[in-house]
């Protein structure tokens, strides 16, 4: 179990590494879609995906046992992969949309004059 400021986050280090790696991948994918203005929108989307994945795993994963699980179920330090993926995509897309709208970016590529 990993504790942050004496608070148990509910997963072990393997689950946290997989969740963080997946969040970075989703952030980079969001960065490659359309035009960005600052070049750091991927970071906000990755943080949103990390938080959404954690919430999805903790909230939706404990309601049922569907999908693959990373970690030890006996110690309740596990990552429910499919609920975490759903939460990461939803929150990551919302955060990316808000950041992209605030910075003046778009989701389409505009033709540039030569």
16/111 Cα distance (integer angstroms): 41
Number of domains in the chain: 1
Question: What pLDDT sits at residue 8?
Answer: 59
pLDDT at 74: 55
Is residue 109 included in any domain, yes or no? no
| Residue at 59 is within a domain | yes
67 inside domain? yes
Is position 54 within any domain? yes
Q: How much is the pLDDT for 93? A: 94
Tell me whether residue 83 is in a domain: yes
So what's the pLDDT on residue 9?
Answer: 63
Using 50, 70 and 90 to split pLDDT, how confident is the model at 68? confident
Tokens of 96: 């990316």
Range of the domain at 59: 11-103
Does 18 reside within a domain? yes
Asked whether residue 47 is domain-assigned, the answer is yes
pLDDT value, residue 2:
61
Report yes or no: 1 and 59 within 8 Å, Cβ to Cβ: no
Give CA–CA dist 86/101, Å, rounded.
23
Whether the predicted pLDDT of 1 surpasses 70: no
Q: What is the pLDDT of residue 107?
A: 80
In whole angstroms, give the CA distance from residue 87 to residue 41: 19
């Amino acid at each position: 179990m990993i504790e942050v400021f004496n608070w148990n986050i509910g997963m072990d280090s393997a689950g946290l590494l997989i969740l963080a790696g997946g969040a970075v991948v989703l952030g980079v994918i969001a960065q490659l879609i359309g035009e960005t203005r600052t070049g750091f929108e991927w970071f906000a989307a990755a943080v949103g995906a990390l938080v959404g994945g954690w919430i999805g795993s903790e909230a939706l994963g404990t309601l049922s046992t569907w999908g693959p699980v990373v970690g030890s179920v006996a110690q309740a330090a596990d990552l429910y992969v499919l609920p975490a993926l759903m939460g990461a995509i939803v929150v990551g897309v919302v955060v990316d949309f808000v950041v992209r709208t605030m910075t003046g970016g778009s989701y389409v590529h505009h033709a540039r004059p030569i």
